[in-house]
A and B are shown apart, each in its own frame.
Chain A
Amino acid sequence: MRCLTCILILLLYIQTAAARTLKVGRQQAFTTIAAAIAVAQNNDTVLVEAGIYREKNLIISRSIVLLGLNHPELDGEKKYEIITIRADNVVVDGFKLSHSGVSSLDDLAGIRIHNCHNVTVRNNILDDTFFGIYSQLGINCTIENNKLTAYGEAELQSGNGIHCWKSDSMKIIANTVSGHRDGIYFEFVTNSIIWRNDSYNNIRYGLHFMFSHNDAYITNIFRNNGAGVAVMYSHGVKMIHNFFEKNWGDAAYGLLLKEISDSYIDGNYFNENTSGIYMEGTSRLEVVQNVFSFNGWGMKIQASCMDNTITRNNFQSNTFDVGTNGSLVLNSFEQNYWDKYEGYDLNRDNTGDVPYRPVSMYSMIVEKNPAAMMLFRSFITSLLDRSEKILPTLTPENLKDDHPLMKPLPL
């Protein structure tokens, strides 16, 4: 047994010692990357010089480092998937990948990580790819500092930027994604982190979560996406210090939450969205220390939400602070700052002495009958709102903040 271990260690040593660098380029030993990959052993490095390579589909099935110098361009000629990774510990670094194939049957990608772990994809530029970086059954992979640009026009004819399916412990860091269907897409992905990414001008969502539990996304920017960000059917999601901006449109939300539970939303900024947060069927969410400003609706909370706490947020310059569709309210609002609050603070403890009701009668009317938007900010609706404040009939009795703050929180 001991002997066997020794042999193994020795073998490993030999392998490491034998790690070679295979150079690819016009004046080098290999003129195509495929040829270099074919002879590369585990731990070898394939170094590719600048140039344009049309290699059809590169399949990496050994643990190698594929390194590009000055972003050599891999052209998929609009037919092929460009790189497919089928081995663990692979690194793809410093390439420009362009014009992947488009297919409605297969999800062709710029780079596919297929059923392997510890893969790193970094510093690549993906231009005009169908799917960008596609992780399928990937574990503990890092996707870092890539720039993904697509030029999709319709939702059905375009793929996602960074697409992860049935993966675990992924690290998605500092990527820039635009023009895809969804900027970043997670389905059945667990224990992963999405950090410092910039996702904008995507056709559908900047970030799309489905059935992905115990993930965190931190300090990302989601701007100008067709429908904002959607987080659905998941639990244990931490959303911290992200920026949700300018998601405008008919069904656009800064953050759409559907069937989410036990999650945490902290320190985010919701600016100039049609709805800052839209919640449906959520439970046990903590929404704390966020800033909602210049949104059409700060939050829309459907009656199917329960046990959510909304505490210590700033609501400023929103058209409507909170909208809802029913009279049942099982959520609590506490100690938020509302710029529309007109109460007083006699004992000067920075907490208003009368409760604030963030739902106006008019927002209830619009919820029931969207065409009433025509009367937005008209004399009659402000009269209705005034009378409703004195004698609530339509707005939910329990939807109120009993301890509204007099001054905005320093967020």
Chain B
Amino acid sequence: MKKIIKYVFTDILRNKIVLGYTAFLLVMSLSVFNLEDNTSKGLLSLLNVVLIIVPLVSVIFSTIYIYNSAEFVELLVSQPLRRKHIWTSLYTGLAGSLSLAFLIGAGVPILLYAPAGTGAVMTGMGLLLTIIFVSIALLAAVITRDKAKGIGMAIFLWLYFALLFDGLVLFILFQFQDYPLEKFMLVATAFNPIDLSRIMILLKMDISALMGFTGAVFRDFFGSGTGFIIAIGILVTWAAVLFWLSLRRFNRKDL
């Protein structure tokens, strides 16, 4: 399995898109910290990068990569290798190289310039979102054989988590605004990794506003040590379950 990971990893790192992605993140985060006169404004721009651009790049790049390596996968499947190992290696290679790109491009500047707590949480959430969206990409790619459909599905899933889900939540909040919705909100965040990551970062970043009435619900739940672990657990579960679904599907797939 290590050998396949090695091949996937070197193949991706040779890919100019990943290098470009790293450079983009690096330029973005350095300029944000050096040009903005106040750090909190800079962090805000980076928050959007972490929550929107990182998942988008992760999901699209991974989907395309899986489709492009269909031949490679086919070749490997006819060899004495476990399918499980092939798929896991692909996943590890993709998640690993994209995480590495994020870590170099955004993580290092964030950890250098941002306040310690916020920076660490932001970097951690960026990494988790990367691996979650690689999982989503793998699932989308294994479900449909058609490349165009698969990429479409991946983009749609990104759009759903980045935008549509929140729109839906907003709609529900207004439909049922006469009811207490705090519990609902807590549960709803668990169903969207982007929302959950955002709240975890904001708990470090915008502490004042979250001290308000409803913010307190989040602070009380996720702000505590156990809550933090639960949140990380939920995010890891997202990545693991999606990957497991794709793996199950891949194990039975006809090539």
Decide if A and B are genuine partners: yes
A residues apposed to B, CB below 8 Å: 248-252, 272-275, 294-297, 316-320, 339, 365, 368-383
Report yes or no: A379 in contact with B166, Cβ–Cβ below 8 A.
yes
| A251 and chain B: residue at smallest CB distance | B213
Taking the complex as formed, is B230 at the interface, i.e. its CB lies under 8 A from any CB of chain A? Answer: no
Report yes or no: B216 in contact with A376, Cβ–Cβ below 8 A.
no
**CB < 8 Å neighbour of B211 from A248, A371, A382:** A248
Report yes or no: B185 in contact with A371, Cβ–Cβ below 8 A.
yes
Q: How far is the CB of B53 from chain A (nearest CB, A)?
A: 11
- Residues of B within 8 Å of A375, CB to CB, are 166, 169-170, 195
Q: Tell whether A373 pairs with B212 under 8 Å between CB atoms, given A317-B38, A379-B163, A380-B167.
A: yes
- Residues of A within 8 Å of B195, CB to CB, are 374-375, 378
**CB < 8 Å neighbour of A376 from B41, B163, B181, B202:** B202
**CB < 8 Å neighbour of A296 from B38, B48, B163, B212:** B212
Give A240 to B211 CA distance when docked, in angstroms.
26
Taking the complex as formed, is B51 at the interface, i.e. its CB lies under 8 A from any CB of chain A? Answer: yes
Q: How far is the CB of A183 from chain B (nearest CB, A)?
A: 20
B residues apposed to A, CB below 8 Å: 38, 40-41, 44, 47-48, 51-52, 162-163, 166-167, 169-170, 173-174, 177, 181-182, 184-185, 188-189, 194-195, 198-199, 202, 206-216, 218
Q: How far is the CB of A279 from chain B (nearest CB, A)?
A: 16
- Residues of A within 8 Å of B213, CB to CB, are 250-251, 370, 373
Report yes or no: B170 in contact with A380, Cβ–Cβ below 8 A.
yes
Looking at chain B's contact residues, the main secondary structure is helix
Q: Tell whether A339 pairs with B173 under 8 Å between CB atoms, given A272-B208, A319-B206.
A: no
Give A316 to B38 CA distance when docked, in angstroms.
9
Report yes or no: B211 in contact with A372, Cβ–Cβ below 8 A.
no
| A252 and chain B: residue at smallest CB distance | B211
Report yes or no: B166 in contact with A371, Cβ–Cβ below 8 A.
no
Q: Which of B44, B189, B211 has the most CB of A within 10 A?
A: B211
**CB < 8 Å neighbour of A377 from B181, B198, B218:** B198
Give A383 to B159 CA distance when docked, in angstroms.
14
| A272 and chain B: residue at smallest CB distance | B208
- Residues of A within 8 Å of B216, CB to CB, are 249-250
Report yes or no: A374 in contact with B41, Cβ–Cβ below 8 A.
no
Report yes or no: B210 in contact with A379, Cβ–Cβ below 8 A.
no
Q: In the A-B complex, list the 3 residue pairs whose CB atoms are closest, starting with the nearest.
A: A296-B209, A319-B209, A296-B208
**CB < 8 Å neighbour of B209 from A316, A320, A365:** A320
Q: Tell whether A379 pairs with B208 under 8 Å between CB atoms, given A339-B38, A374-B214.
A: no
Q: How far is the CB of B239 from chain A (nearest CB, A)?
A: 21
| B179 and chain A: residue at smallest CB distance | A371
19 additional contacts, CB 8 Å, given A275-B212, A296-B208, A370-B214?
A248-B211, A249-B211, A252-B211, A273-B208, A274-B208, A274-B212, A295-B208, A296-B211, A296-B212, A296-B215, A320-B209, A371-B177, A371-B182, A371-B185, A373-B214, A380-B163, A380-B167, A380-B170, A381-B166
Report yes or no: A369 in contact with B174, Cβ–Cβ below 8 A.
yes
Q: Tell whether A374 pairs with B211 under 8 Å between CB atoms, given A369-B173, A379-B163.
A: no
**CB < 8 Å neighbour of A294 from B52, B169, B208, B215:** B208
- Residues of B within 8 Å of A252, CB to CB, are 211
| B166 and chain A: residue at smallest CB distance | A380
Q: How far is the CB of B105 from chain A (nearest CB, A)?
A: 21
Report yes or no: B211 in contact with A317, Cβ–Cβ below 8 A.
no
Give A396 to B172 CA distance when docked, in angstroms.
25
- Residues of B within 8 Å of A378, CB to CB, are 51, 166, 194-195, 198
Q: Which of B40, B44, B188 has the most CB of A within 10 A?
A: B40
9 contacts between A and B (CB under 8 A): A249-B216, A295-B209, A296-B210, A297-B209, A317-B41, A374-B199, A377-B47, A378-B51, A378-B194
- Residues of A within 8 Å of B215, CB to CB, are 296, 373, 376
- Residues of B within 8 Å of A251, CB to CB, are 213
- Residues of B within 8 Å of A380, CB to CB, are 163, 166-167, 170
